[in-house]
Structure 1
Amino acid sequence: MGWFGLGRPRTRFGKWMEEQGVTQEELSQKSGVSRGTISRLASKDDARPGWRNRKKLREALRAYDEEYADDFWDD
């Protein structure tokens, strides 16, 4: 767990992942969303998932914490 928060820029979603101890690889496997997409969403404020990936991520995030899973990407 020592690899989290190494001075990288983080979005609200990225910070949530760090707080929960969720790795990009773990979330990728659980959601079916590519690790590259998850990395971009965790580090770039202007990144937004498409509706299919958003749905996949919401479903996977609810398994971790239903309170925060219902939208990091308000449009």
Structure 2
Amino acid sequence: MAWFGLGKNRSALGRFLDTSGITQQEVSKKSGVPHSTISEWCDGSKRTRPIRRTALKVLRAIKELTGEAKEYEDFWA
């Protein structure tokens, strides 16, 4: 059973992963970005943003996992 985002503040990235049914672990494994970093970016109470090089790894992983092409500004505007 998945409890995606239950009672948590979520960023745009976190909400997207929740609605897409993708786990942070899947994105971490596919992108090579540490799970703790992905988790921080999904936390809506924090205002951290990745450098573009790292974000591109995550965006490529999201495209592979969902088939949807996303831009940096979609999650970290």
Smaller-chain TM-score bracket:
0.7 to 0.9
TM-score, normalisation: structure 2: 0.82
Unaligned runs of 5+ in 2: none
Q: Name the structure 1 match of 2:21.
A: 21
| Aligned length in residues | 73
Root-mean-square deviation (CA, aligned residues, Å) is 1.5
**Corresponding letter in the other structure for 2:24:** Q
Deviation at 1:66, TM superposition (A): 2.3
Q: Percent of aligned pairs with the same residue?
A: 38
Unaligned runs of 5+ in 1: none
**Corresponding letter in the other structure for 1:54:** A
TM-score, normalisation: structure 1: 0.84
Q: Name the structure 1 match of 2:76.
A: 73
* Larger relative helix fraction: 2
Tell me if 1:51 matches 2:21.
no
Q: Name the structure 2 match of 1:2.
A: 2
Deviation at 1:51, TM superposition (A): 2.5
